[in-house]
Amino acid sequence: MSRLIAVSNRVADPSTGKTAGGLAIGLLAALRKQGGVWFGWGGKTCRGEPTDPTVTRRGKVSYATVDIDETEFEDYYNGYSNGCLWPLCHYMLNFFHYERRFGQAYQRVNALFARKLRPMLQADDVIWAHDYHLIPLAGELRKAGVENPIGFFLHVPFPNIDVLRTLPGHRRILEMLTRYDVIGFQTSSDVRSFIEGLARVGFLEARLGYDRFRACGREFTAAAFPIGIDVPGVMQMADRSVTSATVKRVEDGLVGRELVIGVDRLDYSKGLPERFRAFGELLTSYPDTRGRLVFMQIAPPTRSGVRAYQDIREELEQLAGNINGRFAEPDWAPIRYLNRGFSRSMLMGMFRVARIGLVTPLRDGMNLVAKEFIAAQDPDDPGALILSSLAGAAEELDAAVIVNPYDTEGVAEAIQRAANMPLGERQERYRTMMAQLQINDIGAWTDRFLGALEAVRAQSSSGTPTITA
Ligand code: ADQ
């Protein structure tokens, strides 16, 4: 079996295996099975050319991390990745801020990754790069003579060409993606946007089969690989932590009221101000919900180096204050806004005690919280999920209560509906969604992607028929 070389902006902590969420679980399982290397930025900046990677070996897996020069990092990470690509991919152009030097640093950091990774590669390795920080990586590795199969998975949405072309140099983004052998997206609509983008700029040369294409002189697979979760892992965590002191305190604090929960990174794409307003609207339009529901939003700050992230934090504090000021009673406050993170196991326990999960991003590649919320429920008395139609997860979880996150009254109505949903309906929706989560769990996701990457090796030696695009 080939070694797997996983590349991502951040690498899991080798001593604990910890990173944010489900991706690490899936990647680590594949790495442990096949043996390999997890390569990326180690979380530290330096001045000037970084030294060689720091390598920590744990069993069959090596964790290799590099430092990045501090100015380069600012332009590559805050400037280009999170100031240009993130808002662009989430269709939020009001947050888009471009400067040429951002794009140059982005290219150079990818070249640095390729330079430092190259000496670690062996002939049979398969390489799997993750997310929008690393679009140019395959091109840089190819320039250095690497011919191994290289796959790329985009965790965020791929924008329609009419939005993508806002970015100066967007043709280059499309071209750089064609340097990969397998390009994976969260949903079929992302795949369509990518292929349409290639066609519109004149790069698409041929369709070779259902998910095989040729563009910019290279053949590749482009397909949807919706990311899943570790279903039994989440169920166990929820089972165990529901009796923990922290979750018990949350439950006791409700004194019989019902919990509506939101858990997100503090990010403008997650639709948090809109969600707070919808909860305010609920209390205004459906007075019987006052004193009956408590909305707890957990949102630890991220990317605090980007101005927009500081602004949203202030906006949310104000909104929560206003709504609480308007509606609170001496023994009840409608919103609990917690600006901090919790361990995954605590979160799963809190999902278990919640009656409603509120997942209303304005745009999201997938949204694993929606999936985790379902898997954490008590099968006999499950809570209801309210899910944005603009999250990738809505393609699979269509048995949720689907809302448009911009429709304040619609979201308020959905909360009211979910709060009064009969047990039978909750169970039926839960069963439909769980069946889907179990079919496409995190193991199936890594197996499918790596299978597609292995197939490239076979396909490239046998040759395939051509259908003209
Ligand atoms: P994120 O934007 O980070 O991920 P999401 O998928 O919801 O979004 O969350 C990732 C993980 O972080 C989940 O496992 C969740 O439990 C955890 N998490 C979220 N908020 C937390 C909090 N407040 N405290 C502790 N943990 C928290 C990107 C894309 C998504 C895509 C994922 C995976 O933006 O669209 O689903 O990658 O591909």
- pLDDT (tens, 9 = 90+) of the chain, 469 residues, equals 789 999 999 998 777 655 545 578 778 888 998 999 999 999 999 999 999 999 999 999 999 999 999 999 999 999 999 999 999 999 999 999 999 999 999 999 999 999 999 999 999 999 999 999 999 999 999 999 999 999 999 999 999 999 999 999 999 999 999 999 999 999 999 999 999 999 999 999 999 999 999 999 999 999 999 999 999 999 999 999 999 999 999 999 999 999 999 999 999 999 999 999 999 999 999 999 999 999 999 998 887 777 778 888 889 999 999 999 999 999 999 999 998 889 999 999 999 999 999 999 999 999 999 999 999 999 999 999 999 999 999 999 999 999 999 999 999 999 999 999 999 999 999 999 999 999 999 999 999 999 999 998 887 666 544 333 4
* 414 shares its domain with 458: no
Question: Which protein residue's CA is at the shortest distance from atom 22 of ligand 1?
Answer: 341
Burial label, 48 (beta-carbon count in 10 A; 0-12, 13-18, 19+): exposed
The catalytic residue among 155, 181, 230, 267 is 155
Strand order in the sheet with 467-468: 54-58, 61-69, 36-46, 4-10, 126-130, 150-153, 182-185, 218-224, 212-215, 204-207, 467-468
* 350 shares its domain with 453: no
How many domains does the chain divide into?
Answer: 2
pLDDT reported for residue 202: 98
* 315 shares its domain with 345: yes
Question: Which protein residue's CA is at the shortest distance from atom 21 of ligand 1?
Answer: 264
* 13 shares its domain with 150: yes
Q: Give yes or no for residue 364 CB within 6 A of ligand 1.
A: yes
* 325 shares its domain with 435: yes
Instruction: Select from 10, 269, 368 the residue to mutate for testing ligand 1; criterion: most ligand atoms less than 8 Å from CB.
Output: 368
* 224 shares its domain with 235: no
Q: Give yes or no for residue 155 CB within 6 A of ligand 1.
A: yes
Examine the residue annotation and report whether 97 is marked as an active-site residue of this protein: no
Please give the number of the atom of ligand 1 that sits closest to the Cα of 22.
14
252 in a structural domain = yes
Give the structural domain span for 240: 231-439
* 198 shares its domain with 335: no
467 in a structural domain = no
298 in a structural domain = yes
What is the CA(264)–ligand 1 centre distance, in A?
Answer: 7
Angle ∠(292,433,156) on CA atoms, nearest 5: 95
* 294 shares its domain with 405: yes
366 in a structural domain = yes
Question: Which protein residue's CA is at the shortest distance from atom 18 of ligand 1?
Answer: 264
For 190-206, b where at least 16 C-beta lie within 10 A, e where not — what string? bbebbbbbbbbbebbbe
Q: Give yes or no for residue 264 CB within 6 A of ligand 1.
A: yes
28 in a structural domain = yes
Q: Give yes or no for residue 367 CB within 6 A of ligand 1.
A: yes
* 281 shares its domain with 293: yes
Please state, in angstroms and as integers, the Cα–Cα distance from residue 203 to each residue in 103, 137, 144, 214, following that order.
21, 19, 23, 9
* 198 shares its domain with 239: no
What is the CA(21)–ligand 1 centre distance, in A?
Answer: 6
Question: Which protein residue's CA is at the shortest distance from atom 24 of ligand 1?
Answer: 341
Sequence-separated (6 or more) residues with CB below 8 Å from residue 100: 168
Q: Give yes or no for residue 298 CB within 6 A of ligand 1.
A: yes
Q: 128 with 157: CB under 8 angstroms?
A: no
* 287 shares its domain with 395: yes
* 88 shares its domain with 163: yes
pTM of the model: 0.96
Q: Give yes or no for residue 35 CB within 6 A of ligand 1.
A: no
CATH number at residue 369: 3.40.50.2000
469 in a structural domain = no
